[in-house]
A and B are shown apart, each in its own frame.
Chain A
Amino acid sequence: MKNDLVDISLDQLRKGADKDLKKIYEDNRAKFLNFARRYQLPEDDLIDFYQDAYIIFYNNVMSGKLEHLSSSISTYLISIGKHLIFDRMRKNKKSVSEKFDLSRVGDTDEQISSFELEAPELSHEQRLLQQHFKSLGEKCQQLLTLFYYRGLTIQEIMEAENYNSENVVKAAKSRCMKTLKEKIKSNTY
C-alpha cells in the first residue's frame, strides 16, 4: 500500500505538473532542512542545497536512472544533499575548518550510487549550442529532449508522440540534428 503511494508520486513527478512538483517540494522540505542544519551552514545555503538536490533527483527520475523508489523520496533527497554538502566542504574547507581533511568523506550513499550527481558548468561552446537548440522548432526540441534527456527509445517516442512509424521518428531526429549542426557552422541563431 505504502509502495503504491510512493510510485504514484514518481509517476506524477515524471508528468511534471506544477502542483505535484510543488507538493513534493513542500512535503520534503522541513525534513531536509532539519537534516542539513547539523552542518552549520547559512540558512540560505541550505535552501539552495535542497533545491539542487531536488533538481538532481528530478533529472535522475526523468532520465530513467531511477525507475522505482526503494526508499522514500526524502531519503534520496537527503543522500544527494549530503553528497552536495560534503562536496562543497571538500572544495571550500572553511565550512568545517580550514585544514580539515575531507578526503575520507568521499563515498556516496548506496541508493544513489547509480545516479548522475555532477552537473558540470556548460562550456562556452555548449552555451552557444544551447542558444541554437532553443532556436529549433518546437517539435525538434521535444523530440531531442525525449531522446537525449529522457532516454526513451525510438519506439517509445513514436508511441508517445503519435508518429506513424519508427522510421519517421528516425528521419525526423536526424533532420533535427542536421539542422543543429548547420546552425553551429553558420553560427546563426
Chain B
Amino acid sequence: MDKETLLYQYFSNQLTPKEQEAFDALLETDSEFKEQFDFERSVQEVIRDQKSSDLKEKLKGFEREISSGQEEKVVTLKPEASFNSYKKWMIAASIALFMGLGYLGFDNLSGPNYNRLYEENFQNYPNTAYAITRGETDEDTLKREAFVAYETDNINEAISLFKRLKQKEDSETVNFYLAQSYLQANQTQEAITLLDNVIKVNGEFKPQALWYKSLAYLKLKEKDKALVSLNALVEDGRYKKTEATGLVKELD
C-alpha cells in the first residue's frame, strides 16, 4: 500500500491493524512521510479548534438566554424555580429559628452554637479516589459498588460496602470514605475512630481527616477536642487552613 493511501486510511478511520503497523513504522523511519502526516494532522487540529470555538460562542449565547430568561419567567423554569423557592423557605425557616432561639436567650446561654458551626462547615468530601466505571475485574467490583453508593448518596449501602471492602483492603482511602459515610449517617463516634486511623497513617488524607474529625467533635459539642485537631490542621497547613483558623477564633 502506498504512503498516500495509508494517510488516507488513517484520516478516514479505516486503518486495519496491519496497516497501522506499517503506518507507525513509516512515521519512525520516513521523515518525509512524517512531515506530511504532521501537516495533515495540523489541518485537522486547526479545523477542530475552529469548530470548537464556533460552538463555544453558541453555547455562551444559550447560557445568556437561560440566565436572562430566568429573571423574566422564573416560574416556567422548573428546576431553578423550585430550588429558589426552596431556598427562600429555608431562609425564612432559619430566620424564624434564630429569632426563636434569640428569644429564649439560647444562643447566649449555651456558648458557641455547635450545630450551626457544624452545618455551616460540613460538606461531604467528593469521591476523588476512584473513577467509577473503569474496568470490570472482580476485585474492582466491590470498590466500584461502594463508590457508586457513596456518590449517589446511598449512605447505608455505602457503609455496608465500605465495611466489606475494609476487610479486604484496610487502606487509608477506604477508612476515609467509610468515615465520610458514617458522618453523613450521624454515626459520629464510629467516624472519629476511623479518622484517627487515617491520621495515624500520616498520608495524603491526613489534613482532610483532621478537618472532618474537628467537625465531628463540634457535632458532639466537645470543644476542647475539636480545638486540638483544628490547631493540628492549621499547623499542617495543607487543607482548609483559613476555615480552621476561623473556627478556632469562633470557639475560643
Contacts and interface: CB of A to CB of B under 8 A. Distances in A.
Contacts of A129: 42-43, 46
Contact of A122 (B11, B45, B237, B240): B45
Interface in A91-143: 96-102, 104-111, 119-120, 122, 125-126, 129-130, 133-134
A149 B60 contact: no
Contacts of B50: 130, 133-134
A147 B11 contact: yes
Q: How large is the interface on B (under 10, 10 to 19, 20 to 34, 35 or more residues)?
A: 35 or more
Contact of A55 (B52, B80, B134): B52
B12 A38 contact: no
Interface residues of A, number: 59
A101 B79 contact: no
A62 interface: yes
Contact of A133 (B11, B47, B63): B47
Q: Chain B at the A interface: mostly helix, strand, loop or mixed?
A: helix
Interface in A28-82: 29-30, 38-40, 47, 51, 54-55, 58-59, 62-64, 79, 82
B43 A148 contact: yes
Contacts, number: 130
A98 B63 CA distance: 32
B9 to A, nearest CB: 9
A96 B40 CA distance: 40
B44 interface: yes
B11 A148 contact: yes
A134 B8 CA distance: 23
B12 A108 contact: no
Given A82-B131, A102-B128, A22 B62 contact: yes
A72 to B, nearest CB: 14
A109 B8 CA distance: 30
Given A55-B52, A101-B204, A126-B42, A147 B12 contact: yes
Contacts of A147: 11-12
B228 interface: no
B204 A144 contact: no
A79 B151 CA distance: 13
Contact of B239 (A40, A47, A100, A126): A100
Given A86-B131, A98-B237, A105-B129, 9 more contacts: A30-B80, A51-B56, A59-B48, A82-B131, A97-B240, A104-B129, A144-B43, A148-B40, A148-B44
Interface of B: 8, 11-14, 39-40, 42-52, 55-56, 58-60, 62-63, 66, 79-80, 123-124, 126, 128-129, 131-135, 151, 204, 207-208, 237-240
22 contacts: A21-B58, A22-B62, A26-B66, A30-B79, A54-B59, A98-B239, A99-B239, A100-B238, A106-B131, A108-B131, A109-B132, A109-B133, A119-B48, A122-B46, A126-B46, A130-B46, A133-B43, A133-B47, A144-B43, A144-B47, A147-B12, A148-B44
Interface of A: 18, 21-22, 25-26, 29-30, 38-40, 47, 51, 54-55, 58-59, 62-64, 79, 82, 86, 89, 96-102, 104-111, 119-120, 122, 125-126, 129-130, 133-134, 144-145, 147-149, 151-154, 177, 180-181
